[in-house]
Structure 1
Amino acid sequence: MAEGRRSGCEIVPGKDTSLFHLRVWLSSPEDIHPADDLFGDMKINVGGRNCTAYYIFAGSSDPTITLALTGPLDYALGGTAAKVSIRMVLLDKTGSPVTSVGRETASWEGYYAMIAAWDDVKANCLVDNYFVVLCSVHIDRKPQASSVKEELPDLGHDLAIMSDKEDLTDVSFHVGGESFSAHRLVLATRSPVFRAQLYGPMAESKMTSITVQDMEASTFRCMLHYIYHGSLSDVAVKDVCSTMPQYQHLLVAADRYGVEGLKKICEDKLSGNGITVDSVISMLELAEDHVCPKLKAACLDFLADGDNYKMVTISDEYIRLIQSFPNLLVEVRSRIKKALEKSTTINPGAHKKTRLR
């Protein structure tokens, strides 16, 4: 650091637009009451929205540091049109996350803060005259309903009408407190599991009412819609499948009943924009349990980014995943090694060591 540098802060964007570093500079390592210009108006674009990062020092006898992310305070943050997930973690002197310093506070009116004792920051995180906070911001917007209704072939249209009107149905399913009527032949044609269940030697083949365990009614409704329509384009279904966890549930159901087309739709959706710092562990576990190579590759690519990996390894979910699937640690290490080798080849000065847990 240059001698005599003034206090200040800067945002260092990452390769992933949802991640960035907030670097805080002090005029000297002993400066616990920095100048007023530390209230920096530092902006960064996240998910098409401008977010502002700043920090303040508070307290006198035992100073603390408050790090906050805020704005814009409109529907994108505080309303029902989007869900915002923000995480912050201090990095130690080697650039690794340190969870023992700092605690995240509850959000209020779009503010998300971390408070850390200055003595702990100074002892563990201060390098020369600065320290760094790794920040993750993810904005999950609900998809806008399409006003365009897809045209169905005559056969598909007729089947859909039969389903909607419950015309000539010969079997019903009880799922999560709701009842759904359907046609055995249609289900058997679209699902090998339903075929074995409804026309094979299983006890259900003689039943007119079947109870489905371990599934939500909304998930079964979406799967049934796909079986009859061949798509998830209906507005009502979009309302149900509006979040990534709901697509996860639907993928599990599709795999359970062998509805491969629906499983692929869910895997493509989750691989495309469902992977975040908060969701990558559950996504990777889902990919392993249900044999989803595209989703697994997308998760490994996400973890190959050093900042993403640092943020994820501080979670208990990561430890449990590695204990359940020890082979994944080998694959993650291999993917990170390849990413580092590629980065070094393109930019020899860009190589930084990433510690693996």
Structure 2
Amino acid sequence: MSAPLMTRSICIPVTKKGSHVFEIAGYSAYKCMDSDYFINSGTFSVGGHNWYIRFQPNVVFVNAGVDGAVQHCISVHLVLHSKGAKVRASCDLSLVDKSTGSPWLVLRTPEPREFKYGDTSMYFPKSAFMDHAMLEASPAYLRDDRLVIQCDVTVIKDPRLFTNKFVGEHEPPPSNIAEHIGTLLETGVGADVTFAVEGETFAAHKVILAARSPVLMAELFGPMKEARMKHLTVEDMHPDVFRAMLHFIYTDDLPNTDEIWRDHENKMIQHLLVAANRYDVDRLKSICQGILCDRLDVENVGATLVLAYHYNCPRLRKLCIRLITDPKFMEALKETAGYRDLKTNYPDVLADLFEVKTSNLHTK
């Protein structure tokens, strides 16, 4: 007698996560505004819905104690901006330490809640974010009259339902091919070419490099003399940059190092973009552009614009120009060393920038 057929259903929650950073310049100009005054961030998308951050610089609370003391606070809310939508979501609201780039969690929704478009339920939480005295005593979070707010949003989507015909039906594990190929780089097993970079030697595999880079394909298997060589020298590149590029070539991912993710001057990412452009590793170049776009601010936009011009990064160039040609942003930019360097050393870039601005004015 055959065993009875048994089925199984699995309900798997589906979440979409995203973050938005909102920088407020000139905090002191806003802190004495009326209690109902607010500033909205740009709109951003998480989970297929549009959101923005609302910042109120001077919310007044009266303590319920005997003294009835008045407390002046900043208040920060997440707002759903998709009309007619009902979305279950949670959010973390943090201040970003300007010296380290690390967020410090201030408020968190205790559990997911339903957001709707409209005044009745558009905010969470309805409370003070931080009082003025505490904020102004924290130089890490209020530096050069600027503060940076980070909002991490988690949207809870409809769950996925899977049905298996047989209990114990085999499900293959997730792909780990990148891990296995990355091990070849770590161990050097089967390596057939070495690269000398400023005194450091890197062992690699010609066929993997050629598959990932058209430039290396030509160097290692084309008519160039390097194709007959087993030891190559790389000029004008730091070993850490070459190491990170090799890691990406083998694993299709950036290494998880402080030099990349806590590099607040963006030097490593900039050098990686240059290396990706040099070896025609398009996906790495695109990822570096995306990181630089996310990290743009008034201090680094000048240097980033020069990089975008020299290495053909249209997406990055377009965003830099959009920021610089904003009148409010330009006023702050003129006071930075990056802008002075742009005027002194890259007048051609600056001239092109103002041609774009003039052209935009004529088309309006």
The alignment's TM-score, normalised by the length of structure 1, stands at 0.54
Note the residue ranges of structure 1 that are not aligned, 5 or more in a row: 1-15, 25-36, 38-43, 54-74, 84-107, 115-134, 141-149, 342-357
Among 210, 219, 235, which residue is 2:232 paired with? 210
The corresponding residue for 1:287 is: 308
Mapped contact 2:289–2:316 kept (Cα < 8 A) = yes
8 Å Cα contact 2:97/2:141 also seen in 1 = no
Q: Does 1:320 align with 2:340?
A: no
Q: Does 1:331 align with 2:356?
A: yes
1:225–1:287 CA distance, 2 compared to 1 (3 A): same
Residue 194 (structure 2) aligns with: 172
Corresponding residue for residue 247 of structure 2: 225
Aligned CA distance change for structure 1 residues 198 and 110 (closer, same or farther; 3 Å):
same
Structure 1 residues 251, 195: closer, same or farther in 2, change over 3 A? same
Asked whether the equivalents of residues 322 and 329 of structure 1 are also in contact (C-alpha less than 8 Å), the reply is no
The structure whose residues are more often helix, as a share, is: 1
In structure 2, do the counterparts of structure 1 residues 290 and 172 end up closer, same or farther at CA, with 3 Å as the change threshold?
same
Which of 242, 252, 260 is the matching residue for 2:282? 260
**How far did 1:80 drift?**
4.6
**AA paired with 2:341?**
E
Instruction: Deviation per CA, 1:334-355: give whole Å up to 9, x if none.
Output: 45777xx5xxxxxxxxxxxxxx
Q: Which amino acid in the other structure matches residue 340 of structure 2?
A: D
Once residues 109 and 21 of structure 1 are traced to their aligned partners in structure 2, the CA distance between those partners, rounded to angstroms, is 13
Match runs of 1:242-257 below 5 Å: 242=261, 243=263, 244-257=266-279
**SS of equivalent to 1:174:** strand
Distance 1:205 1:289, change over 3 A: same
SS at structure 2 position matched to 1:173: strand
The answer as to 2:292 corresponding to 1:270 is yes
Give 2:296's aligned amino acid. I
Residue 20 of structure 1 corresponds to which residue in structure 2?
26
Residue 111 to residue 302, structure 1, CA distance change in 2 (3 Å): closer
Q: For the aligned residues, what is the CA RMSD? A: 4.2
Q: Check the 8 A contact 2:98/2:143 in 1, yes or no.
A: no
8 Å CA contact retained: 2:210, 2:220: yes
Q: Which amino acid aligns with 2:285?
A: K
Structure 2 unaligned residues grouped into runs of 5+:
1-21, 33-38, 42-52, 59-94, 104-137, 151-172
Query: Does the Cα contact within 8 Å between 1:287 and 1:293 map onto a contact in 2?
Result: yes
Bigger relative contact order, structure 1 or 2, given CA contacts below 8 A and separation 6+?
Answer: 2
User: Structure 1 residue 136: deviation in Å?
Assistant: 4.8
Mapped to 2, the partners of 1:327 and 1:304 lie a distance apart of 12
Counterpart amino acid of 1:19?
A: A
Rounded Cα–Cα distance in structure 2 between residues aligned with 1:111 and 1:224 = 36
Deviation at 1:246, TM superposition (A): 1.5
**Partner letter of residue 324 of structure 2?**
L
Q: CA deviation at 1:172?
A: 1.0
Residues 136 and 277 of structure 1 are in contact (CA less than 8 Å); yes or no, is this contact kept in structure 2?
no
Q: Kindly report which structure 2 residues correspond to 1:17-56, keeping only aligned pairs within 5 A, or say none.
A: 17-20=23-26, 22-23=28-29
Q: Measure the CA separation in 2 of the matches of 1:151 and 1:252.
A: 33
- The alignment of Structure 1 onto Structure 2 pairs a total of residues equal to 237
User: Which residue does the alignment assign to 1:122?
Assistant: none
Shift of residue 332 of structure 1? 3.3
Amino acid at match of 2:311: H
Aligned residue number for residue 208 of structure 2:
186
Find the partner of 1:311 among 332, 338, 353.
332
Quote the Cα distance in structure 2 between the aligned partners of 1:78 and 1:296.
Answer: 25
For 1:18, what is the secondary structure of its paired residue?
Answer: strand
TM-score, structure 2 normalization: 0.53
Three-state SS of the structure 2 residue aligned to 1:201 is coil
Does the 8 Å contact 1:191/1:258 carry over to 2? yes
Contact 2:245 2:275 in 1 (8 A): yes
Tell me, in whole angstroms, the C-alpha distance in 2 between the residues paired with 1:335 and 1:238. Answer: 41
Greater strand content: 2
Residue 193 of structure 2 contacts residue 231 of structure 2 at CA under 8 Å; is this kept in 1? yes
Q: Which residue of 2 aligns with 1:197?
A: 219
- SS of match in other structure, 1:214: coil
